[in-house]
Chains A and B, each alone.
Chain A
């Protein structure tokens, strides 16, 4: 059985764990270099992207993540996850992410916490779900990839082959369909 790693240095990794448990999938938390060895897919949860990047750098996870990207292994990021997967980041000290997805993303683009909301998104696999947008980013430009999820017609999630990034949290409202979709991707890739 294939195993999913959840990057667990900070954020809502417990919520992703609960979804994987519900789906009966083998999972582990990824916090160190060696944790990458026996996993087949990687979930990057929500949280603070600035905190993620600091720990990723200080604990030599950066080279593993870049290698993971170069090997095109299945990766699924939510909110802070899509931010660090992006090639360009607006409203950010550094301005660039790890380039899994060739998109331009803007952090905290809806505003502050009082502008956070729950809304229904439409997936491109014939499914609609209520999900949470929490201090969410906005995808400003897509250079490569397809919209996998839309909110009022605008892309809020992008898939480029084995890489999926979404600006919202299905794991907070408990919708499991996108995780299921990601698992299929993991199972179909070598």
Chain B
């Protein structure tokens, strides 16, 4: 146990979600499709990231009414997003009984200096990270689950791959340090010494590490798993594809059998069109979501 009992229960739920797929949904019908396909949880949203990206403007927490309807429709855990630093949106979601909060760069940040003090909440939080330093700061603030940021709403897995590889590489670098080098490492990463020490002793983060941001196909999901992700968030990839039921099922199976090419080949066949992707190189600097909240 790293912090306290409250944190341990929150990380406990994150552990139960491992080896699974968390799907973005915008209404009860989609939530039911996701549950039936075998999703371990759904993320209740007003718009999927691809539409948030297209429409612009300030993206905020979804209407609690929409979230409640989705919570009523399924028996699996329901997550929802709040703006970075917007602890009142988080209080509202905790009040309506949400199971997990995503303090997400996909929404417009409400605070450019501070994230939410997540230790104050009974409900667990997941936060995005591009590298180990971001991941450890979020854990220190109380996050019970880390996910790669990737580049949400693009259908392009390249950034999630970059972030997962980097985090794994930084973890193995710490594991190979001498004990007396950990102090300097903590200083360099701008994080708590004890967190660095935990990684040195255990060779992993004290919370599960999932993948998110641009995962669109079963092969993308399996790629992230083989790179060390413990579960996968799929945002726009399912309900922006030509056949959501099929895509949802196939991605669930791809995550369960991520290291079995025979299964992966079979489930990748005749799925229909995946979501149309975006070349991230063509996005302007201000259109990138991953640089929010570091």
Chain A residues, Cβ within 8 Å of B8: 118, 132, 172-173
Decide: B18 and A118 in contact? CB cutoff 8 A: no
Q: Known contacts being A48-B40, A50-B35, A51-B39, is A112 close to B99, with CB within 8 Å? A: yes
- Tell me which of B16, B249, B257 contacts A134 (CB under 8 A): B16
Q: Known contacts being A8-B19, A54-B37, is A117 close to B13, with CB within 8 Å? A: no
For the complex, is B85 an interface residue (Cβ under 8 Å from A)?
no
For the complex, is A99 an interface residue (Cβ under 8 Å from B)?
no
Decide: B123 and A113 in contact? CB cutoff 8 A: yes
Total interface residues in chain A, CB < 8 Å: 38
In this complex, what residue of B is CB-closest to A80? B16
Q: Tell me which residues from 16 to 63 in chain A have a Cβ below 8 Å from any Cβ of chain B.
A: 31, 46-48, 50-51, 54-55, 58-59
- Tell me which of B10, B16, B124 contacts A11 (CB under 8 A): B16
Decide: B256 and A10 in contact? CB cutoff 8 A: yes
Decide: B97 and A132 in contact? CB cutoff 8 A: no
For the complex, is B162 an interface residue (Cβ under 8 Å from A)?
no
Sampled A-B contacts (18; CB under 8 Å)? A11-B16, A12-B15, A13-B18, A31-B256, A47-B17, A48-B16, A48-B20, A79-B16, A80-B16, A91-B75, A112-B71, A113-B13, A116-B12, A118-B5, A134-B13, A135-B13, A135-B77, A172-B15
In this complex, what residue of B is CB-closest to A133? B9
Chain A residues, Cβ within 8 Å of B123: 113-114
Decide: A50 and B12 in contact? CB cutoff 8 A: no
Q: Tell me which residues from 100 to 132 in chain A have a Cβ below 8 Å from any Cβ of chain B.
A: 107-108, 111-114, 116-118, 132
Interface size class on chain B is 35 or more
CB distance from A180 to the nearest CB of B (A): 21
A155 to B256, alpha carbons, bound, how many Å? 33
- Tell me which of B19, B36, B122 contacts A114 (CB under 8 A): B122
For the complex, is B239 an interface residue (Cβ under 8 Å from A)?
no
Decide: B16 and A47 in contact? CB cutoff 8 A: yes
Residues of A within 8 A of B (CB): 8-15, 31, 46-48, 50-51, 54-55, 58-59, 79-80, 91-93, 107-108, 111-114, 116-118, 132, 134-135, 169, 172-173
Decide: B12 and A11 in contact? CB cutoff 8 A: no
- Tell me which of A31, A46, A114 contacts B16 (CB under 8 A): A46
Chain B residues, Cβ within 8 Å of A111: 97
A50 to B12, alpha carbons, bound, how many Å? 18
CB distance from A60 to the nearest CB of B (A): 12
CB distance from A58 to the nearest CB of B (A): 7
Chain A residues, Cβ within 8 Å of B257: 31, 59
For the complex, is B253 an interface residue (Cβ under 8 Å from A)?
yes
A15 to B77, alpha carbons, bound, how many Å? 20
A54 to B39, alpha carbons, bound, how many Å? 10
Chain A residues, Cβ within 8 Å of B12: 116, 132, 134, 169, 172
For the complex, is B252 an interface residue (Cβ under 8 Å from A)?
yes
Chain B residues, Cβ within 8 Å of A58: 253
Q: Known contacts being A12-B16, A111-B97, A118-B5, is A48 close to B76, with CB within 8 Å? A: yes
Chain A residues, Cβ within 8 Å of B13: 113, 116, 134-135
